[in-house]
Structure 1
Amino acid sequence: MAETSEDTGYGLTRDSEALRASPRLFENPVLDKMSRVHWSVPLFIYVPVVALLAVLSLRSFDALGVLAATALGYFIWTLIEYFGHRFLFHYKFPGAIGARIHFLIHDVHHIHPNDPLRLVMPALLSGPIMLIAYTVLRSIFGLPLVYPVLMGFIIGYLGYDMIHYYVHHGEPRTRVGLALRRAHMLHHFRDPTRGFGVSAPWWDYVFGTAFVRQRSAGGA
C-alpha cells in the first residue's frame, strides 16, 4: 500500500498512517487493551462520581457554597493539568527504563497524535490520580468540604479529556474551539515547549509558554 502524507497545517507534513497508528504498548494483552480507551469511557466512569459528590455536597452546604468550592476544585485541576503536562509529561527520564516510562506517559501521543483510542486517560492512569487527589484534598480541606472541591477537580479533568479528544478529532467552528485547536496543534507540530494548557490555555500566558502570533513588518 502506498504511503500517504498529511499536511498538518503548521509547517510540517507527516505520514498520515504514522499519525493515526495505534501501536502495541504492552506484551500482556489485557494491559494493552486497557491502554486503549474510547473517548466516552471517562464520562461513564466519572459522571456518576460527580453526581454522588454533588449529593453529598448539597447535604452539607448551600448551593452558593457548593458552587464556590467546586470552582476552587476546578481551579486546582487547571494548575495540575498545566504543570503536569509541562514538567511530568515532557520530562525525559534518564536511561532505557526512563525512556520507556516517558514513551508510555506521553511520547507515544506525540509520535501518534491522532490515535483515537489514546486521547483520553485510561482508568489505569486516571484512577490513581483521583485517589491521590482525594487523599491530598481531604488532608487539606477535611470532610465534608472535600466533596465539592473534588467534584470541581473531576469536572476539570473531564473537561480536559473531552477537549483533548475534540481538538484532535472534532471540527471546531467557534472562535474558542479554533483557538484551542490551534494552540494544541502548534504544541504537537511546531514547538512542544509551549502550549501546555490544553483546556486551560490562560496558564500559558501567565507562565510565558503561550504561542504568540507574530506581527508582520507592516504591523498587520
Structure 2
Amino acid sequence: MSQDARTEALDASPRLFESDLLDKLSRVHHLTPVIVYCPIILGLLIYSLTLNSVTLVLLGLVVGYLGWTLTEYFGHRYLFHTVFALPFGLGPRFQFLIHGVHHIYPNDPLRLVMPPLLSAPIMLIALVCARVLFGATFAWPALAGFITGYVIYDCVHYWTHHGQPQSDFARLVKRLHMLHHFRDAEKGFGVHAIWWDYVFGTAYQKGDTPGTRAV
C-alpha cells in the first residue's frame, strides 16, 4: 500500500449505522465536549459554592479529576479493549462501535471525541457514585472535577491525532498514544493521564517507536 493510500485509509470515516440519524449522531465536532460541558462545569461550581467552602470545592475538583483519570485508564484498558460475551453474538459489534473503529480509522476527525449520547450516561453514573461515596453536598464539586477531567481527555485525544507538539511533555504524550495505535494496543491506556500506565505496569519502554499498526 502506498503512503497516500495508507494515509487515506487511516483518515477515513466509515458509516457505522444503517440509520442516517444514528450515523450522523456518531460523528461529532471535536469542540462538542467543550461547548456542551463547560457551561455545566461552571454551573456545578457556582452551585457547589453555595453548599461548600472554597477549600472543599477545590478539594472536590481534585478528587473528581483523579476519579476521571482512573475511569479513563480502566475504561480504556478493560471496557474499550475487551470483547464481551453478549447475547446474539453482539460482543464484537459492541466493541467495534465503542472503540474498535477508532483503531481501524484512528484519524477520523469526527470520531475522536465521545458523542453526548455516550458521554452523558457516564456523567450520570459518576453523579450517582459521587453521591453514594461523598454525600449530597460534596458530590457536586467532585462531579465538576470529573467532567473537567473528561473534557481535558477528549481535547487531548483529538490533539494527539491532529495537533503538533510544542514541548517535550507534549511530544511525550503524543508519542505514547501513537505507540498505542501503531506499536502495541495492550499498553498505553492513559491518553492524557499517562502516569497510570507507569503505576499499573502498562507503560512503554523508552526506546519504543511506532511500527506495525496494532488493532
| Structure-2-length-normalised TM-score | 0.92
The structure 2 residue matched to 1:166, chosen from 151, 156, 159, is 159
Residue correspondences, number: 206
For the residues of structure 2 that align with 1:138 and 1:30, how far apart are their CA atoms? 34
Native 8 Å contact 2:64 2:142 kept in 1: yes
The structure 1 residue matched to 2:40, chosen from 1, 24, 49, is 49
Native 8 Å contact 1:57 1:144 kept in 2: yes
Unpaired runs of at least 5, structure 2: 209-215
Per-residue CA deviations over 1:111-169 (Å, capped at 9, x if unaligned) read: 00000000000011001111111111112212111110000000000010000000100
For the residues of structure 2 that align with 1:112 and 1:24, how far apart are their CA atoms? 11
Native 8 Å contact 1:35 1:118 kept in 2: yes
Structure 1 segment 76-155 matched on structure 2, within 5 A: 76-94=67-85, 96-155=89-148
Q: Tell me the equivalent position of 2:24.
A: 33
Rg larger in structure: 1
For the residues of structure 1 that align with 2:52 and 2:133, how far apart are their CA atoms? 18
Q: Would you identify which runs of 4 or more consecutive aligned residues in structure 1 move more than 4 Å?
A: none
Are 1:203 and 2:196 an aligned pair?
Answer: yes
Unpaired runs of at least 5, structure 1: 7-13, 216-220
How far off is 1:181 after superposition? 0.2
For the residues of structure 1 that align with 2:206 and 2:153, how far apart are their CA atoms? 24
Q: Tell me the equivalent position of 1:10.
A: none
For the residues of structure 2 that align with 1:43 and 1:75, how far apart are their CA atoms? 19
For the residues of structure 2 that align with 1:199 and 1:74, how far apart are their CA atoms? 12
Are 1:194 and 2:187 an aligned pair?
Answer: yes
Q: Tell me the equivalent position of 1:19.
A: 10
Structure 1 vs Structure 2 CA RMSD: 1.5
How far off is 1:94 after superposition? 3.9
Q: Tell me the equivalent position of 1:182.
A: 175
For the residues of structure 1 that align with 2:47 and 2:111, how far apart are their CA atoms? 33
For the residues of structure 2 that align with 1:175 and 1:57, how far apart are their CA atoms? 36
Native 8 Å contact 1:4 1:17 kept in 2: no
Amino acid at match of 1:25: L
Amino acid at match of 1:176: F
Of 57-66 and 42-51, more deviation after overlay is shown by 57-66
Counterpart of 2:93 in 1: which secondary structure? helix
For the residues of structure 1 that align with 2:85 and 2:132, how far apart are their CA atoms? 33
Identity, in percent, stands at 53
For the residues of structure 1 that align with 2:25 and 2:169, how far apart are their CA atoms? 32
How far off is 1:4 after superposition? 4.3
